[in-house]
């Protein structure tokens, strides 16, 4: 009779270590949806789509009639100005959108989805005719200061990359599209990259996403382990294992999304034996455990960001120590920030060396590229004692002569005194500019501030609001070019001249003044800040539940 009891007790004892591991892993995850990818995917499937209509859409915060009228007039005036300024650019954008799903996606998700239909009345062109220094010129001749950063490529200024691309074309022209064999400049690129990264080996790829894929594959090959650790909010490309949440049709599998700057995370890394690698995107130092901000997230809440170089360096050092003890590959994904913080990248900037480091974007000198640099023990792709056990990775266009030529021009330019001078006092210069920018915004009396990781800036808001996402359109109207994520991020070239920075500041202030005058930052001063925030959150929740209920009724009727 006692035998089942003893069997149950034995089973419980056998399961106890597994239970403790699961509990430890759960504690290491960030408590937000960013740390729980399965739950995030469920919420994404549950979240109903709905479209707000004017004029009700402009009074969601309970604004009085006179403010609503100012908003309606401001909206119409802004729409007319945007349309009148760029008819040729907008016409070509509309034509291309019909055959380009990328344009349809970015247009739809430029703003919070309930406003997506309305926002079509505020058109933004996708085409540029040429660049001139820090300026972009559209098909209608309008000039915009470039704050897009070309998604991270533009570290040293657009004219710089025109030069490296031209030089790369000259270097590669004699060989042409000969693939498989290597242009002689590749040997020089390898030597320079080894010196810059402090690594032993280099492999070339066609994109940053491919470079990260290869680094993760190498870590799995050499450890015999499957699982990958990434940090909540970080981006490492669009492939399955490092983008396991919404946006990926497959469920999370071998990926643990843990919390940055967390003792619980370090404990998981110390105790588990199934983790092949830890991925670090140094951009997360600006907003740990949060995704890079986009206007599509700005519905009734504020953004937060701050940067403490010393604190993040200490965290990376501890992470380095734990990964070494546990035999885990530490991978720095410097595709976005590489060569922006320092000539030696984030490794040099934070004083921590990874096992593998991924580069891309700016390293191609204006052409597409991905690179993995690593220690020999991690980079070897075969085992002599097991000749059939390989870690294969190739690509037809890897080490293309023109790309290698442009990279060579970029790497040699890093040694020029005038380029090195751009890094002298870099942190101090951009911190001073950040302080100056914020002081001007405060003097202007608008609820906007910025936070900076050197020349990468995040736009913040000092009060909750339903219409912060509109600032991107006012900035466009003021002659500032942004990436499709809107006002969430401003990316400057590190050597931007003072006159161009001042122009960017004045145009930003002008956009804020206009948006303020049109009533979009009104708030009920009779309510304390927390009560105001609660009102907006309740309103958003009510809208979402109503939309969900209507969706359920439609589904039942259809069935």
pLDDT band at 4 (very low <50, low <70, confident <90, very high): low
Provide the pLDDT for residue 548: 79
The CATH number for 56-154+426-518, chosen from 3.40.50.300, 3.90.1150.10, 1.10.150.20, 1.10.30.50, is 3.90.1150.10
Provide the pLDDT for residue 255: 92
| Edge-to-edge strands, sheet with 227-231 | 201-205, 370-374, 356-360, 329-333, 275-280, 227-231, 255-258
Provide the pLDDT for residue 373: 98
- The residues, ordered by sequence, that sit 6+ positions from 505 with a Cβ below 8 Å of its Cβ are 436, 437, 440
Provide the pLDDT for residue 299: 63
Domain spanning 199-288+308-399: CATH 3.40.250.10: no
Provide the pLDDT for residue 370: 96
| Each residue's pLDDT tens digit, 36-62 | 778 877 877 877 888 899 999 999 999
Which range among 258-267, 278-287, 289-298 shows the weakest confidence by mean pLDDT? 289-298
Residue 511 has pLDDT above 70, yes or no: yes
Residue 15 has pLDDT above 70, yes or no: no
pLDDT band at 1 (very low <50, low <70, confident <90, very high): very low
Element (H, E) at 256: strand 255-258
Residue 529 has pLDDT above 60, yes or no: yes
Residue 125 has pLDDT above 90, yes or no: yes
Provide the pLDDT for residue 477: 97
Taking the C-alpha atoms of residue 458 and residue 117, their distance in angstroms, rounded to an integer, is 26
Provide the pLDDT for residue 80: 98
Mean pLDDT of the 313-341 span: 96
Residue 87 has pLDDT above 50, yes or no: yes
Q: Structure pTM?
A: 0.92
Asked whether 129 and 139 are in contact (CB, 8 A), the reply is: yes
Collapse the DSSP code of 448 into the 3-class scheme (helix H, G, I; strand E, B; otherwise coil) and give the result. strand
Residue 187 has pLDDT above 80, yes or no: yes
Residue 198 has pLDDT above 90, yes or no: yes
DSSP 355: S
Taking the C-alpha atoms of residue 104 and residue 82, their distance in angstroms, rounded to an integer, is 19
| Each residue's pLDDT tens digit, 414-466 | 999 999 999 999 999 999 999 999 999 999 999 999 999 999 999 999 999 99
Provide the pLDDT for residue 48: 82
Residue 401 has pLDDT above 70, yes or no: yes
Asked whether 126 and 96 are in contact (CB, 8 A), the reply is: yes
Work out the mean pLDDT of the chain and round it to a whole number: 91
Region for residue 8 given its phi and psi (left: phi exceeds 0; alpha: psi -120 to 50; beta: otherwise): alpha
Integer Rg of the chain from CA: 26
When comparing pLDDT for 150 and 16, which is higher? 150
* Highest-scoring range by mean pLDDT, 14-18, 206-210, 240-244: 206-210
Percent of the chain whose predicted confidence (pLDDT) is above 90: 69
| Each residue's pLDDT tens digit, 239-274 | 888 888 777 788 778 899 999 999 999 999 999 999
pLDDT band at 555 (very low <50, low <70, confident <90, very high): confident
Beta strands in 347-416 (DSSP E): 356-360, 370-374, 382-383, 386-390
Taking the C-alpha atoms of residue 130 and residue 128, their distance in angstroms, rounded to an integer, is 6
Cis ω on the peptide bond leading into residue 55 (within 30° of 0)?
A: yes
Provide the pLDDT for residue 533: 87
């Amino acid at each position: 009779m006692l035998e089942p009891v003893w069997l149950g007790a034995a089973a419980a004892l056998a399961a106890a270590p597994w239970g403790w591991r699961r509990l430890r892993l759960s504690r290491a995850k960030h408590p937000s949806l960013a740390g729980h990818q399965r739950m995030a995917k469920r919420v994404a499937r549950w979240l109903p789509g709905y479209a707000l209509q004017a004029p009700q859409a402009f009074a969601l915060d309970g604004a009085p009639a006179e403010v609503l009228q100012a908003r309606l007039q401001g909206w119409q005036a802004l729409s007319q100005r945007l349309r009148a300024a760029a008819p040729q650019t907008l016409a070509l954008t509309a034509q291309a959108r019909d055959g380009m799903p990328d344009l349809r996606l970015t247009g739809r998700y430029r703003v919070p989805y309930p406003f997506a239909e309305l926002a079509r009345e505020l058109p933004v062109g996708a085409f540029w005719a040429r660049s001139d220094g820090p300026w972009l010129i559209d098909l209608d001749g309008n000039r915009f200061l470039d704050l897009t950063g070309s998604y991270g490529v533009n570290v040293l200024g657009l004219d710089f990359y025109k030069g490296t691309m031209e030089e790369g074309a000259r270097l590669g022209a004699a060989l042409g599209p000969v693939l498989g064999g290597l242009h002689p400049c590749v040997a020089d690129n390898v030597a320079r990259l080894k010196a810059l990264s402090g690594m032993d080996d280099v492999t070339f790829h066609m994109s940053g996403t491919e470079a990260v894929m290869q680094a993760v594959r190498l870590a799995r090959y050499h450890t015999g382990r499957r699982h990958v650790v990434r940090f909540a909010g970080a981006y490492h490309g669009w492939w399955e294992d490092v983008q396991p949440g919404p946006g990926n049709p497959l469920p999370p599998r071998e990926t643990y999304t843990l919390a940055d700057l967390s003792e619980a995370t370090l404990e998981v890394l110390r105790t588990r034996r199934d983790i092949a690698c830890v991925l670090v995107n140094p951009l997360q130092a600006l907003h740990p455990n949060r995704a890079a901000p986009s206007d599509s997230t700005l519905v009734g809440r504020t953004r937060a960001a701050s940067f403490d170089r010393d604190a993040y360096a200490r965290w990376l050092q501890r992470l380095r120590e734990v990964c070494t003890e546990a035999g885990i590959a530490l991978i720095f994904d410097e595709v976005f920030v590489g060569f922006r913080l320092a000539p030696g990248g984030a490794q040099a900037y934070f004083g921590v060396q990874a096992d593998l480091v991924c580069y891309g974007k700016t390293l191609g000198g204006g052409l597409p590229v991905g690179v993995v640099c690593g220690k020999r023990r991690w980079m070897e792709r075969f085992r002599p004692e097991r000749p059939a056990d390989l870690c294969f990775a190739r690509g037809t266009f890897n080490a293309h002569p023109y790309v290698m030529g442009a990279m060579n021009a970029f790497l040699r330019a890093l040694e020029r005194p005038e380029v090195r001078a751009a890094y002298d006092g870099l942190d101090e210069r951009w911190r001073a500019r950040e302080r100056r920018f914020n002081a001007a915004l405060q003097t202007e009396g608008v609820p906007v501030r910025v936070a900076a990781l050197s020349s990468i800036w995040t736009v913040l808001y000092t009060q909750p609001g339903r219409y912060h996402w509109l600032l991107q359109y006012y900035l466009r109207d003021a002659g500032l070019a942004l990436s499709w994520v809107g006002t969430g991020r401003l990316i400057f070239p590190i050597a931007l001249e003072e006159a161009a920075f001042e122009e960017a500041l004045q145009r930003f202030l002008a956009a804020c003044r206009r948006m303020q005058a049109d009533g979009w930052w009104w708030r009920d001063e009779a309510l304390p800040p927390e009560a105001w925030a609660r009102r907006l959150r309740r309103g958003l929740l009510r809208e979402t539940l109503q939309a969900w209920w209507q969706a359920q009724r439609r589904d039942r009727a259809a069935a």
